[in-house]
Amino acid sequence: MVRIARTVALAPVPRPWLVDALGALTDLAESTTAEDGRVLLPDGRQVPELRLTEGHHLRPGALYESTEGADAGKGGADALEGEADARKGAAGAHTGEAATGPGTDTVRITVEEWRRTHALRVAFSGSGSDGDLTGRAALFGPDRPDRVELSGRAALRGVRSPLSRFDADAQLRCGDWWQAADGDAGVRRPPLRARLTCGVARAGLTAVPRPGPDHGDWEVTVTVRMRGRGPLRPLVSLGLALARRPLARAVAEAVDDAARDWNAQVPQLTALGPEELRRELLTKL
C-alpha cells in the first residue's frame, strides 16, 4: 500500500452561512414551475437546456433531461456542427424530443426523494462522446445539513484497459467536519471519505480539517491510500511502491490546484447573503 498525505490551508465556510445558502437555493428550486416540459423560473424565464420529460415537478419519479452539443465552443467546422446540434435540440424542445447522436451529451436526473425535513435524493445518468456515467447523490437534512453521500460508476469509451471502468463513492459528515474544524478532538473518523475502484487498483481518500494557526483558515490534511486488488494485488502494490515519488508529486499538485481554486472562489461566495446568492444564481441562468 502507498500512503500520501498533503496539508493545505483553505478559506473556511461558516456553517450558518451554508445553512442559509442551502435554504435559499432550495427555496429557489421550489419556486420554479413546469409547463409542457419546460422548467420556468419565478420571473417566467425558462431554465436553459433543461426539460421535465416524465412525472411531476420535484416529486419522486420526476425525470429531467439536459442535452447540449459536446462540440459547442470549438472553432471552425466543429463550431458549425455545434450550432447544428443546438438547432436540432431547439427543434426537439418544441416536439418534446431530445436531440441525441454524435456530438451530443445527455444528462438525465431522476428525483427519488424531495423532503426538506428529511432528504433530497436524486439518481443521475449521463452519456456522451467520452463515455457513460450513472450514480446517486443525497443530501440528508437539507434544512440542517447532516451528511452528503455520492456514488457512481463510469465507463470510458476508447480506452481498452482496466482503467476504462471505475466505481466511486464518497461521504461527508457535516457535523463532524465543523466540529473538527473548530478543534474538537472528539471526532474519531475523518469527516470526508472517498473511494475509487478501477480494475486492479483501489484508492481511498480522507480529509480532516483543523483550525489554522490564526483560527481563520482551515488546515485540511488530505490522505490518499493506493493498493492493488484481485489476483494481481502483490504485483500492482509493488508497482505502486516503485512509482511512489511521481504519484506523490501528482497528488500534491492536484491537492494544491484544488486548494488554489477553492481559495479563489469560496471567499467571494461566503461574502454573499442568501438573497444576494439567489440573485447571483438567477443572473447566471
pLDDT digits (tens, 9 = 90+) for 96-119: 444 444 456 899 999 999 999 899
Confidence of residue 67 (pLDDT cuts 50, 70, 90): confident
Distance between CA 209 and CA 217 in Å, rounded? 10
Mean pLDDT of the 195-208 span: 92
pLDDT for the residue 140: 97
φ and ψ at 234, to 5 degrees? -60, -40
Q: Are strands 165-173 and 147-156 parallel, antiparallel or unpaired?
A: antiparallel
Distance between CA 209 and CA 191 in Å, rounded? 8
pLDDT for the residue 104: 62
Residue 104 in contact with residue 67, Cβ under 8 Å? yes
Q: Decide if pLDDT at 236 tops 90.
A: no
66, 151, 62, 65: which is closest to 113 by C-alpha?
62
pTM for the full model? Answer: 0.82
Query: Residue written as cell 456542427?
Result: 81
Write the CB contacts of 155 (distance below 8 Å, at least 6 apart in sequence).
131, 132, 133, 164, 165
Distance between CA 106 and CA 166 in Å, rounded? 20
φ and ψ at 170, to 5 degrees? -150, 150
